[in-house]
Structure 1
């Protein structure tokens, strides 16, 4: 079988998978990695097809999986690299580059706001900084949060993990601890950040759940830490925070692996299932009303929901079959 390389335009031989697991792995790779090595023009075109809102001030895209927002060591292509190209595709060759208003992690998909003018970008950034933007995320969790709705209000701090793979992770820094069977106040750490997450289970089985998250604060990896270490329900595909002591592919039950069509040895191919579902921006500039921005989840997310027998809210089911055509 042959395919056209998006980066070079050349024909390349593609291995034909010989087992159901291999086909499933190839499917995951196709869903999540096809935009990481393409030509900048190809990426800009894909982003333009993912636009969910556009006006004289803002352009809102559905960010694909696996694409960093900013450049850095080892990063070949990022969203900020193609903003000048995207602007020209939308407004002609004389258009000024678009500006980032906020960021999403490389592995997070969903609503991303861009601005035509730097001043507008700064205004939106200030709305985020002062917590005036309502945010909702969807995630698939391993196990089901108990209780099914609540608030996790536990500070988060970055700590070094000792061991063969010495590295840093965010973790919980609770204000209380158990001592001789009694709850006592823990010494506060100045480096800890206040972190508050509201959550609600939208659909669940015995071993997995679709959960809506509303972060009240915006601490690094807050949602991943609160789910894994606070509720003991790590995000599906979170290979960093499923185990505190090491960096390793997430361990899943045989039942979950069977539903996903994988073996444990191939679990490393499961992407992080964390999707920025909705942003609500307050009135800004000439716009006198709040603006609700919603992005459909990517194809791999929808596929996992089906395989795990999880249901999206009824008002969201129509049309989500086509979500993420550009490799999200």
Structure 2
């Protein structure tokens, strides 16, 4: 029915504009190797940003894709992300409820908080805190209750604690920065009605290990 892969940071899930397609590797370049005996290659059932690592669900055939798409629409698939943010929330857990809209047609997928935007909600929990050369940091578990583009990044930045390494919504340099500190840590999929939901975790990427350990992770 499905595969869950650990997508590396920096690998786009889908092709970009035609001018980029020849020069930038994308996930679809590798999907034929994941057929495992089926006549068609699997396809991504949802999206991860290019610079986000971690759990990505693939549907192995059209019926699986239809069922997974319906589960996503119904909000039955659980997703938890790990993020390192600069500063951090005053409360140990909470809910961010800020509607989002596109920033402008020229900015493509860049988003902003706007009263006329689509409802967007993110639940957060602080897993640890620490001090680094970037100042105070917090390690968060983020659960998106809606699925807007760049939702987690915008919600953190608008709350006053942008993600470390975010060059769009934070203050990270475009070259030589620490890399976006956002990782799709786990997914939980109720794939079979009479069985327990399938839970999959992806280990954090190399570029997040230092900040995670600074905030108390002992993995």
Q: TM-score, normalised by structure 1?
A: 0.60
Separation in structure 1 between the aligned mates of residue 195 and residue 92 of structure 2, nearest angstrom: 36
Deviation at 1:137, TM superposition (A): 0.3
- For structure 1, the 5+ residue unaligned runs are 1-56, 175-188, 251-265, 318-328
What are the within-5 Å matches in structure 2 for residues 173-188 of structure 1?
A: 173-174=114-115
1:224 paired residue number: 153
Q: Is the counterpart of residue 301 in structure 1 residue 208 in structure 2? A: yes
What is the CA-CA distance between 1:111 and the residue it aligns to? 0.5
Query: Which residue pairs with 1:108 in the alignment?
Result: 52
Q: Which stretches in structure 2 are left out of the alignment for 5+ residues?
A: none
The CA deviation at 1:303 is 2.8
Aligned length: 210
- The answer (yes or no) to whether the contact 1:195–1:222 under 8 Å persists in 2 is yes
Residues 113-139 of structure 1: per-residue CA shift (max 9 Å, x gap)? 112212101211111122111110000
Equivalents in 1 of 2:3, 2:125: separation in Å? 29
Q: Does the residue aligned with 1:223 lie in a helix, a strand or coil?
A: helix
Deviation at 1:71, TM superposition (A): 1.0
CA-CA distance at 1:249 after TM superposition: 1.9
Asked if 1:282 is matched to 2:190, the reply is yes
Alpha-carbon distance in structure 2 between the residues aligned to 1:167 and 1:283: 37
Distance 1:150 1:69 in 2: 30
* Residue matched to 1:172: 113
Q: How does 1:4-43 map to 2 (within 5 A)?
A: none
Instruction: Quote the residue 2:144 is aligned against.
Output: 215
Which piece of structure 1 moves more, 212-221 or 199-208? Answer: 199-208
Native 8 Å contact 1:83 1:99 kept in 2? yes
- TM-score, normalised via structure 2 length: 0.87
Q: Which residue of structure 2 lines up, in the alignment, with residue 70 of structure 1?
A: 14
In 2, Cα distance between equivalents of 1:241 and 1:202: 22
- Counterpart of 2:121 in structure 1 is 196
CA–CA separation in structure 2 for the residues paired with 1:233 and 1:78: 30
Helix, strand or coil for the counterpart of 1:147?
A: coil
Q: Write the distance in 1 (CA, Å) between the matches of 2:79 and 2:34.
A: 25
Do the aligned residues in 2 keep the contact of 1:65 with 1:109 (CA within 8 Å)?
yes
Q: How far apart, CA to CA, are the structure 2 residues paired with 1:146 and 1:124? A: 36
Structure having the higher helix fraction is 1
> Is contact 2:178–2:207 with CA below 8 Å preserved after alignment?
no
Whether contact under 8 Å (2:124, 2:142) holds in the other structure is: yes
Displaced runs of 4 or more, over 6 A: none
